[in-house]
Structure 1
């Protein structure tokens, strides 16, 4: 590093241009009079005394009288410590800026990556306890134990809770008792192979973490309806639709309540094909204003992008992956009703009560 570069670097470390130039001059000379320092540097003669006193106060030089004011560079130990400390702080600041840029705080951004599964579990606990409408969660029996209190609270608050249980290792097979499941969920299903932890709350929040035996431990926290909708399809197709219930609090006797319009459509399609009259009460939001709405009437038509098939069996959930909704006639008004993320329909349904007539 040449003298000019050293002067510029010392300026970045907090010295004034005159102080940096005078200090480098003294380093080269060892000691010199104030006048000689001024002549060998860019410091004006009238300013040299103030510049040297400023350097002395900061521990860079020491001055003494010998017919005229003399100065010499001090032992650089303290100066070096100061400079290295500044370098460390600057490097730490750079790392922190990078961290804040690549992993923003959860309060300010839709998606956050966290390092520890415990963070994901703790956030899931908070969100499940505050659920208003629905919880869909896939977890191991040990994770169920950790979240049991939160799931009970969600059920007590009236939320529809779907639980998929799976083992942490392929050898595990134990499940919570029916009594515990009755306190914590609306329905439970069992997947016999391990899977990632996932919790979806009120169509807005997702908490996700890979299986604990994954090579990397991390978690994803999402506060966004669109991203959560993607995780909904993972839950529906990989953790729910293909497995039989091990517990259900649902009653087949009418009226029946649904929080998922796709499940509702699977139930009412054969009723409409048999010319049954299907009455419904829909709670949800107007898609154009976001205003809460409750409307009751008769379902006159259903529409979805897939096909029902000819075997008479239950339509796979994947057939409802595109458009899925129904038309509700309420007196002189007619409403189109969609589900999660409805855009083209009049109403996004949050809860649907169905009462088919004979």
Structure 2
């Protein structure tokens, strides 16, 4: 940094142009009379005394009498500390401006539009770590690497994690190892076409951003069950049902846990047709009062729209409307629906098949 740049920087730090010039001159001279400082700088003679006293008040120089007024640069420790403090405040202010620009206060909004994918990924990381029941996520392998620690934390907390990996634009994908997938998800599938980033957490939060080839970079963060339900069907139809698993931790023997009642119905219906007895535990909410409830009993029937049971595996399209099961417990018979249930007694969050006899 040359002298002119240093003077300009000191002006930004709060010195007047004459004060900055005089201080830099004193740094070069070491110690000098007021007259010599004026001659070596651009400070007019009539102003030099006021300029030096102003610098002394700010702690930059000290003056002393030696036939005439002399000055020398003060020990720079205090000055340097002040400058570095100002630099830190500027850096902090820059970070805060960037944060406020890219990330609004999500607590006050049901739907928030943000400007950068990084903001969406950061929020998705936070939501996944705090998940209690279910995560559904579609993302590229690179995004998976970024969110893998959060997904692993969710799995450790017993969360059901479904991952659909999609290729990046114009790049060959590098898929995670089976070991990595076993640590981060319950089941993983692969879609060969590029797709937007989407993450659904606990049937309430959705984080979405277009794929890398989109002309505009933006993100949508939704805190609303109705919107999340729409994204859930996008996830099921585009990212999940039509693709084969590349990893699964699911077991065909009880206990078998479901977070999606429609998948449970498709597996249970053939068993009922065979006359099997299915013991299950339902954890969810009362649809009328919203209270949490857990019921264990025997599944006696399944219902979905107007399509009768025929013993075959039910297509997902036949389950797009009403989908429920009936469970007989010690205190009576109850109907159980899935996400957004209104007609049934309970909305199931998890259904665990305990035994099949």
Provide the TM-score with structure 1 as the length reference. Answer: 0.69
Deviations 1:224-256 (A, max 9, x none): 000000000000000000000000001111121
Q: Which deviates further from its counterpart, 162-171 or 318-327?
A: 162-171
Gaps of 5+ in 1: 1-98
Instruction: Report whether the alignment pairs 1:209 with 2:195.
Output: no
TM-superposition CA deviations, 1:75-112 (whole Å, max 9, x none)? xxxxxxxxxxxxxxxxxxxxxxxx99xx9742112101
Change in CA separation of 1:295 and 1:124 when aligned onto 2, cut-off 3 Å: same
Number of the residue aligned with 2:318:
319
Cα distance between partner residues in 2 of 1:171 and 1:109: 36
The answer for the alignment partner of 1:188 in structure 2 is 188
Contact 2:302 2:326 in 1 (8 A): yes
Supply the distance in 2 between the matched residues of 1:110 and 1:237 (Cα, whole angstroms): 25
For residue 309 of structure 1, report the CA deviation from its aligned partner.
7.8
CA gap 1:117/1:305 in 2 versus in 1, 3 angstroms: same
Q: Name the residue aligned to 2:264.
A: 264
Alignment of 1:57-72 (within 5 A): none
Name the SS of the counterpart of 1:243 in structure 2.
coil
Once the two structures are overlaid, the 10-residue window that deviates more, 326-335 or 179-188, is 326-335
In the alignment, does 2:118 pair up with 1:118?
Answer: yes
Match of 2:248 in 1: 248
How much does 1:319 deviate?
Answer: 1.5
Aligned to 2:223: 223
SS of corresponding position for 1:221: strand
**In structure 1, distance between residues paired with 2:139 and 2:264:** 25
Partner of 1:200: 200
Are 2:345 and 1:346 aligned? yes
The secondary structure found in structure 1 opposite 2:107 is coil
Residue 147 of structure 1 corresponds to which residue in structure 2? 147
State the alpha-carbon separation in 2 of the partners of residues 309 and 284 from structure 1: 25
**How far apart are 1:316 and its partner, in Å?**
2.1
Q: Which residue of 2 aligns with 1:355?
A: 354
Q: Alpha-carbon deviation of 1:357?
A: 2.8
User: What's the CA shift for 1:308?
Assistant: 6.2
Q: RMSD of the alignment, in Å?
A: 1.9
Superposition deviation, residue 164 in structure 1: 0.1
Give distance in 2, aligned partners of 1:313 and 1:276: 15
Deviation per CA, 1:31-71: give whole Å up to 9, x if none. Answer: xxxxxxxxxxxxxxxxxxxxxxxxxxxxxxxxxxxxxxxxx
Q: Deviations over 1:287-335 (max 9, x none)?
A: 111111100001111101153686x653222211111101111024111
For residues 289-308 of structure 1, the aligned pairs below 5 Å read 289-305=289-305, 307=307
Find the aligned partners of 1:164 and 1:313 in 2 and give their Cα distance: 26
Q: Is the 8 A contact 1:306 1:322 kept in 2?
A: no
Alpha-carbon separation, structure 2, partners of 1:254 and 1:308? 26
Query: Which segments of 5 or more consecutive residues in structure 2 lack a partner in the other structure?
Result: 1-99
In the TM superposition, residue 212 of structure 1 has moved relative to its aligned partner by 1.5
| Separation (CA, whole Å) in 2 of partners of 1:143 and 1:186 | 18
Distance 1:106 1:269 in 2: 42
2 CA distance for matches of 1:326 and 1:163?
Answer: 27
Secondary structure class of the residue paired with 1:301:
strand
Rounded Cα–Cα distance in structure 2 between residues aligned with 1:335 and 1:202: 24
* Counterpart-to-counterpart distance in 1, 2:137 and 2:334: 31
SS in 2 for 1:107: helix
In structure 2, relative to structure 1, the CA distance for the partners of 1:306 and 1:316 (3 Å cut) is farther
Quote how far apart the aligned CAs of 1:208 are: 0.3
1:108 counterpart = 2:102: no
| TM-score normalised over the length of structure 2 | 0.69
Aligned partners of 2:269 and 2:309 also within 8 Å:
no
Matched, 1:239 2:239: yes
State the distance in 1 between where 2:352 and 2:125 align.
Answer: 28
